[in-house]
Amino acid sequence: MSFSVSAVAAPQVLGCEDHSPTTAKWLKLLVLKCKDESGREYNWEYVERVTKYRETDGVAVFARVVAKDQPDRLLVIAQWRAPLDTFVLELPAGIIEKGETIEQVAVRELQEETGYTGVLESVTPEAPNDQGLTNSCLNFGFATVDAAAPENANPQPSPELGETLQVLLLPIKGLAGTLLQLKAQHSWAIDSRLLAFALGLDYAASISSNPASSN
């Protein structure tokens, strides 16, 4: 089924100024001058990664671990994140640098951050992370990890400086509940993309268990 809408007129970007302090190495602070469809002008501050060279910044991977006679599990990392001073339950992910493809980064970051080797099956288009504040975007990859493969016999993450993490294999069934339990138990945070995915799983389960609203 095709869903059709009529587009509304977009505002216009009149200019962009760089207000980054000279000390900034990784982030740029930019100010856009905009004019809306009724001619009103306004400024919009936002942040851009200095590594950004294309429409996306990074890739995050939903990696399903398949093992004989075991329920499917999702590879999740609990990574310490300086801006929040806590561990965040999140997807293995990485920044795409010049000369790299999304697919390469997805497989490499999965390997580096979790130690597991996976087969990438699909990649979504880029999606903004926090579009009021930044032009940062990511693509989602979907990968399958064969727990019985020889390369996955003894998975060892190889974190870089600034990466403190541990790897968790969480049952996909009941994922939202498990994430919330871990958060409550350890005072960790849950990445909004991972939480939204888990809420989607739950939502679908609630519909299928209640055929009256199943549409």
Q: According to the binding rule CB under 8 A, does residue 138 interact with a second copy?
A: yes
Q: What are phi and psi of 140, to 5 degrees?
A: -95, 135
Structure tokens, 25: 């190495």
Is residue 49 within 8 Å of 136, Cβ to Cβ?
Answer: yes
Q: And the tokens for 136?
A: 């940062």
Shorter beta-carbon distance to a second copy: residue 41 or 103 = 41
Size of the site for a second copy (CB under 8 A): 106
Query: Contact, 189 vs 89, CB < 8 A?
Result: yes
Contacting residue, 15, 39, 82, 156, with a second copy by CB under 8 A? 82
Q: Give min distance, CB of 98 to a second copy, in A.
A: 18
CA pair distance 45, 64, nearest whole angstrom: 38
Q: What mask, x for binding a second copy by CB under 8 A, covers residues 2 to 41?
A: xxxx-xxxxx-x-----xxx-xxxxx-xxxx-x-xx--x-
Task: Kindly tell me the sign of the dihedral angle through the C-alpha atoms of 201, 206, 209, 210.
Answer: negative
Residues 143-202 that bind a second copy (CB under 8 A): 161-162, 164-166, 168, 170-174, 178, 180-183, 185-186, 189-202
Q: Which is nearer to a second copy, 117 or 124 (CB)?
A: 124
Under rule CB under 8 A, residue 68 binds a second copy: no
| Dist. CA 111–CA 157, nearest whole Å | 7
Nearest approach in angstroms of CB 45 to a second copy is 5
